Every structure is written in C-alpha cells, then in structure tokens.
C-alpha cells in the first residue's frame, strides 16, 4: 500500500515538474520587443544611436515593439543649448532613377516605435547619408511598409543648410504609418523643408506641426513635401516661408517655389485637415516681378514663379473636408490649392490672400494633368471642385476669382459645383 502511494506521489511530482517546465519555457520565450507589454526600451542617446545603427545594418525590427522611457536629446551637450551635432538617420532609402521605385538595398524600420508621450529634442545641422547622397535628412530615414511611429514628439532645430539638403522633422521617406506625432520645431532646408516627412507613401494621421518651416527654394510644406499616400486629421499651426535669402534661381533666373499648408504636391488623399498658418513665397511681392514674368512669357520662355495653397500647392489627388485659416502670399495663390488637376470637395477657407493670380479655393482648376497620369493619380476627369466655401480678403496683383481664377488664360475652366464665396477684393494696381 505504501509502495502504491509512493508511485502516485512520484507520478504527480513528475507531472507538476513538466507543467512548471512548460510554464518556465513559455515565459522565457517572451523576449524584449515581442509585444507592447514587453517592449525594447530606449532610455538614452546611446540607446537611440545603437538602435539606428542596427537598423542601418539590416535589422528591420519587423514585428518588434520599441518604446521610449524618457526624452532623448540629440545634441552635443545633452541640452537645448548644446552645439549642433551630426546625425545618422534611422534607415535609408535608395530610389531607382530608372523607375522611381525603392531599391532592395534600402534599409527600413518595420516595427513599432512608440514615443510613449516623450520627445526627441534636436539640435542637428548635418546628416550622415548611408545612400551616398546629401540631398535629404531627417531623424528617421526610412519607415518601411507596416512600420509605425506613434505618440512621439519632436522639438528643437533641424537644419540641412550645412550640407545643402532638404530636411524634415521626423521622417525622410514614410511607407508605413505616422500617428499621433507632434513636431514643435524649426526646420530649415535648402531644396525643401517639411514638418513631418519629405515623401509619404503610407499613412499620416492625427499628427500636429507647430513652429517654423523654412526653405530656400523648391518645396515647403507643413506635413509632407510630396504625398502619394493618405494624410488624415492633421493640424498645422506654423510659419511656412519659401525662398528664404533670395532662393536659388533656375535657368530662366526665376525661382520655382511650391508651398502648401499640408503638402507641396499631392497625388494621394488629404482629408479632415486644418491649417492655421502664415504661408509665403517671398519672391513675389512687387509689380516688377510680374512685369518681367509677362515679358519672358511673350518671348516664349518658361517663366514660372511658383504657387502656394492653404492646403496643397499642386493637387493631382483628393482634398476633402479640409479648412484653411491664416494668410498665403505667392505668385499663384489658392485658399485650398494653388493648381488643381483632380478633386477638391467640402473644403472651406477664412483667410487673407495676396498674389498675382488668385482663387478663393484654387488659382487654377485644370482638366487633368497628362504629365502626371499613372497608378498614383486618382484618374478622375480632372479639375473638379464641389461643395466648397470661401471667405477671404484678397489683394490681387492682376486676376482673381471667388472660387477659381476663371479669367486666367492657362485655365481650362473645369468643373465647379455647389460652391459659395464672400470675398473682399483689392486690386493692387489701384493702390500704386
């Protein structure tokens, strides 16, 4: 009887050990980064530099969860008063010059990076470029498909002036998701500057930008310079100034700035966004510029001084349910979009505008842009504006329209439906 009881106890003990063993193995298998409950924590500048190095060497962190546990300082003395530093972005992107597609040699972050409400505080004026160029710079170089940056703040100064680069506060190329990120920064670029991303092929939603976005020429935008994806429910309250320090003249001695409250160029969707900003292309402030433009135009030259819009400068996609308040100043000015080739609907303005060719919603509303047709364009009939309302104070150098500038000779008079406007207009010629 005793022997039988001993065997029973031994059997129970073995079973219990097996269960405990299974539990132990299961617990140990949950390595850091496997879930939001067991993240990889970044606690210091050194941790963040190590993380960047691992991504640049090929570790994508796909399926991993990375989380800040406090603010990170990216400057020499770990203080806002520290000297500017050189920064090696997290990931980098090669673009194939033949087809514009992203090369397999690129290195991207594909995991989840949770700022956890903390900020990366910057004082950066030079970027190390893993792709062998010095054209662009940002804290994250390339967020790949399925990659996520969320709940992250960016503060301080990010400049590309030292290396003649275009810069963005958060990300150079985004093919993933930027969500609930807030930039309160000064961004200074040479060939472009943007509040969050230079190129967006993914999703940007519920993000905010405050501060100064300054560019010497080309692109200047509150959220992203070029949007191929979706921008939704974002807010911009900033100074966006293009053509700083005189800009960089092209072959015809004219600058070509494209400045937009959300994006310079849109080929995707921009919805539910609000912009309250001062937007300016500083090269168009006098009658002299316009008179020279007319002369070059009559001589058959490609004279172009640029345009600006409260939401987008040039639109080849969808802009819907957006609002612009503030002021915008450029050669071609639209309260929502400078030049529209696709769809603008259910948008409104309550703003001040000054320029040569002005429309309360769009300066030009054109029947399709054949030069940009393709899979990224909505391929609508083109130039469609509907259900919009414009309330504006307009100072026009030459031509204006309450909704679009219908008298402009380069306008194809595309569709405008169910729009209302109430504008106060002053022609600048009358005051000289």
Most confident by average pLDDT, 146-150, 249-253, 379-383: 146-150
Question: What mean pLDDT value characterizes the chain?
Answer: 81
pLDDT of 105: 76
pLDDT of 287: 45
pLDDT of 211: 95
Could you read off the pLDDT of 258-302 as tens digits, one per residue? 999 999 999 999 999 999 999 988 655 444 555 555 555 556 555
Q: How confident is the model at residue 249 (pLDDT cuts 50, 70, 90)?
A: very low
The residue assigned the tokens 């010059």 is 97
CA max distance for the chain = 117
pLDDT of 56: 93
pLDDT of 345: 94
Could you read off the pLDDT of 167-216 as tens digits, one per residue? 999 999 999 999 999 999 999 998 899 999 999 999 999 999 999 999 98
Residues in the chain: 432
Torsion, Cα 68 240 278 336, to 10 degrees, reads: -100
Most confident by average pLDDT, 138-152, 153-167, 401-415: 138-152
d(CA 51, CA 190): 28
- Residue 98 pLDDT exceeds 70: no
- Residue 218 pLDDT exceeds 80: yes
pLDDT of 374: 44
Q: How confident is the model at residue 330 (pLDDT cuts 50, 70, 90)?
A: confident
pLDDT of 63: 94
Q: Do the beta carbons of residue 309 and residue 273 sit within 8 Å?
A: no
pLDDT of 246: 52
DSSP characters for 159-227? E-TTTT-EEESSEEEESSEEES-EEEEEEEESSEEESSEEEESSEEES-EEEEEEEESSSEEESSEEEE
- Residue 8 pLDDT exceeds 60: no
Could you read off the pLDDT of 383-415 as tens digits, one per residue? 899 999 999 898 887 788 889 987 665 555 688
Q: Which residues contact 304 (CB under 8 A, 6 or more apart)?
A: 252, 254, 256
Could you read off the pLDDT of 72-88 as tens digits, one per residue? 999 877 666 678 888 99
Domain ranges in the chain are 62-215, 252-432
92: Cα within 13 Å, side-chain hemisphere? 22
pLDDT of 304: 55
Q: Do the beta carbons of residue 226 and residue 265 sit within 8 Å?
A: yes
Q: Do the beta carbons of residue 195 and residue 187 sit within 8 Å?
A: yes
Comparing C-alpha atoms, which of 242, 368, 375, 372 is closest to residue 309?
Answer: 242
Q: How confident is the model at residue 430 (pLDDT cuts 50, 70, 90)?
A: very low
H or E, element range at 158: strand 153-159
Sign of the CA dihedral with 191 first, then 192, 198, and 200 last: negative
pLDDT of 382: 72
- Residue 24 pLDDT exceeds 50: no
């Amino acid at each position: 009887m005793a022997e039988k009881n001993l065997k029973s106890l031994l059997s129970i003990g073995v079973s219990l050990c097996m269960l405990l063993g299974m539990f132990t193995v299961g617990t140990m298998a949950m390595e850091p980064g496997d879930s939001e409950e067991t993240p990889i924590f970044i606690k210091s500048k050194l941790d963040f530099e190590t993380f960047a190095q691992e991504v640049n060497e090929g570790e994508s962190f796909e399926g991993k969860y990375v989380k800040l546990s406090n603010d990170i300082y990216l400057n020499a003395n770990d203080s806002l008063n520290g000297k500017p530093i050189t920064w090696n972005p997290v990931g980098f992107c090669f673009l194939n010059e033949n087809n514009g597609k992203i090369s397999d040699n690129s290195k991207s972050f594909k995991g989840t990076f949770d700022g956890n409400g903390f900020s990366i505080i910057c004082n950066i004026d030079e970027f190390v470029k893993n792709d062998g160029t010095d054209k662009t710079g940002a804290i994250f170089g390339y967020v790949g498909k399925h990659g996520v940056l969320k709940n992250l703040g960016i503060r301080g100064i990010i400049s590309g002036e030292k290396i003649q680069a275009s810069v963005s506060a958060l990300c150079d190329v985004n093919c993933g998701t930027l969500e609930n990120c807030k930039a309160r920064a000064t961004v200074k670029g040479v060939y472009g500057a943007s509040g969050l991303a230079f190129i967006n092929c993914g999703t940007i939603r519920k993000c905010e930008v405050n501060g100064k976005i300054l560019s010497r020429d080309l692109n200047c935008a509150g959220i992203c310079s070029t949007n191929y994806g979706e921008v939704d429910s974002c807010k911009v309250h900033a100074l966006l100034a293009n053509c700083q320090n005189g800009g960089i003249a092209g072959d015809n001695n004219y600058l070509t700035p494209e400045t937009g409250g959300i994006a310079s160029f849109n080929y995707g969707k921009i919805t539910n966004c609000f912009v309250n900003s001062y937007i300016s292309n500083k090269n168009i402030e006098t009658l002299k510029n316009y008179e020279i433009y007319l002369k070059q135009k009559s001589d058959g030259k490609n004279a172009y001084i640029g345009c600006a819009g409260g939401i987008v400068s040039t639109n080849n996609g969808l802009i819907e349910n957006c609002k612009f308040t503030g002021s915008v100043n450029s050669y071609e000015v639209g309260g929502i979009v400078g030049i529209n080739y696709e769809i603008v609907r259910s948008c409104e303005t309550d703003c001040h505008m000054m320029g040569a060719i002005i429309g309360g919603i769009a300066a030009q509303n054109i029947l399709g842009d054949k030069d940009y047709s393709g899979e990224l364009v909505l391929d609508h009939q083109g130039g469609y504006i509907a259900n919009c309302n414009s309330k504006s104070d307009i100072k026009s150098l030459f031509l204006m329209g309450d909704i679009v500038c219908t008298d402009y000779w380069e306008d194809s008079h595309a569709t405008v439906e169910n729009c209302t406007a109430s504008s106060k207009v002053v022609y600048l010629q009358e005051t000289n």
